[in-house]
Structure 1
Amino acid sequence: MSEVAPYQLLIFDWDGTLVDSIGRIVEAMRVAALACDLLPRSDEAIKGIIGLGLPEAIQSLHPDLHEPARVEHFRRRYSDAYLALEAEPSVLFEGVRESLELFREQGYQLAVATGKSRPGLARVLAAHGWLEYFDITRCADETASKPDPRMLHEILGHCRVAPERALMVGDSVFDLQMATRAGIDSVAVGYGAQPLSALREHGPALAIEAFNELRAWLVARTHGQSIEVGSYVG
């Protein structure tokens, strides 16, 4: 008889994990900096803050930006630039839609834990026809920003799942740090904001370069098999 899958709940970051939006975030941050007469940070520096809530991201990139009015101006210019770039919503990574449908059929609960704002997530969920798709979604503007584990605790409570039965999937160190602090296993994806070389330092259970590798790993675990995926054996 096949073994029971160890996880009941799959929690996903949004940008850089489910959707290919990192380039647009980088560009919008550069536009906002120029509009505020600030020196734009490098692409790598901007990618390094993706996953944080917007206030925390701005503070990390531009620590000398203190005046509330200037911070709000930056936030608005970023939001305007990002919305313009998202006139056509960022596409899902290959295999995401099919994999999520399979996970749902297999009985997993599905959740999103993101640094996006609630209005921003609602907009992109609607664009993909997913407003009612996930069991719960949590955003940085309605709870604590990553890597604080509060949003994961809230997701676990809503889904009534123990930490050891949940899995966090993300592309930033903040995702993995948050998972560790919540006592949750994590999966590092290397096709988003940050490279696997940085993410591996945070002890993910799995590291992948394509979303379909997650599906293969979970299917194998369901049947008590061991398969090689990327640089890890699950």
Structure 2
Amino acid sequence: MPNSDYELLIFDWDGTLVDSIDRIVAAIRHAAAGCDLPRLDEVPIKGIIGLAIQEAIVTLYPQLTGTQTLTEFQRLYADHYLSLEATPSLAYPGVAKTLQTLHQQGYRMAVATGKTRRGLDRVAACHGWSALFETTRCADETASKPHPRMLLEILEQCQVAPERAIMIGDSAFDLQMAHNAGMGAVAVSYGAQPVQVLQQYPHCLMIDRFEHLLPWLNHRP
């Protein structure tokens, strides 16, 4: 058994495990251009990473709410992102080795992501990580972050109490979702949102490199 207060580790995907941020920004801008919408600075685009895609789009372009253009934007985004992901986004340094080590040490692991089910299953298989995660939840099959539903569903399926699980993510949505579910959270500083934003939300730890998660977990009293 792990030498830790936690038995279940729940990870965000984009910006936490894989460096896909620039591709998401590029796909949003491509879709906006295709819909004759203004090109946005990367800061607000990075600020919506982690949300379900429709919620992300209407956050950036509120005028699209309830319109056919929203559907077209989503299609253009998905097609362009898929073309960019023909070669999957690289894992951040230390992620692959650390995930394997955590698995070997007996930690149970899961994913809670704003990706679609089809997108997550494809990229998890490409990285060879599918078998590492006991369960996963995606934004197109449950409530979008920061609503706690996807975490509560994972906890129920795994039969783990909130205090025995922790969320690891790179966005305010991840940290607030964990808080809403009664869980602790670890923030990673290298993803989509800057440290000064993350510091405004509840978290137990902030790490600059993914592998720093290991010693913190394994030296918990």
Do they superpose with TM above 0.5? Answer: yes
Which residue identity is paired with 1:114? T
1:192 aligns with 2:204: no
Unaligned runs of 5+ in 2: none
The 3 A distance-change label for structure 1 pair 67 and 158 is: closer
Cα offsets for 1:131-158 (capped at 9, x unmatched): 3321000000000000000000000011
CA shift at 1:91, angstroms?
0.6
Which residue identity is paired with 2:159? R
Which residue identity is paired with 1:115? G
Q: Distance in 2 between matches of 1:125 and 1:159?
A: 20
SS at 2:121 equivalent: helix
**Which residue does 2:200 correspond to in 1?**
201
**Which residue does 2:47 correspond to in 1?**
48
What is the identity percentage for the equivalent residue pairs of Structure 1 and Structure 2? Answer: 56
**Which residue does 2:15 correspond to in 1?**
16
CA shift at 1:126, angstroms?
1.4
Q: Distance in 2 between matches of 1:139 and 1:41?
A: 26
Unaligned runs of 5+ in 1: 225-234
SS at 1:191 equivalent: coil
Report matched runs for 1:2-151 at 5 Å. 4-151=3-150
Q: Distance in 2 between matches of 1:198 and 1:133?
A: 30
Which moves more between the two structures, 45-54 or 98-107?
98-107
CA shift at 1:67, angstroms?
4.5
Cα pair 2:3 2:218 within 8 Å, conserved: no
Q: Distance in 1 between matches of 2:98 and 2:121?
A: 21
Query: TM-score, length-normalised on structure 2?
Result: 0.97
**Which residue does 1:228 correspond to in 2?**
none
Q: Distance in 2 between matches of 1:196 and 1:44?
A: 13
Cα pair 2:8 2:166 within 8 Å, conserved: yes
Number of matched pairs: 220
1:214 aligns with 2:213: yes
SS at 1:132 equivalent: helix
Q: Distance in 2 between matches of 1:6 and 1:94?
A: 25
Query: TM-score, length-normalised on structure 1?
Result: 0.91
Q: Distance in 2 between matches of 1:152 and 1:170?
A: 13
Which residue identity is paired with 2:105? Q
RMSD: 1.2
Which moves more between the two structures, 183-192 or 130-139?
130-139
CA shift at 1:130, angstroms?
2.3
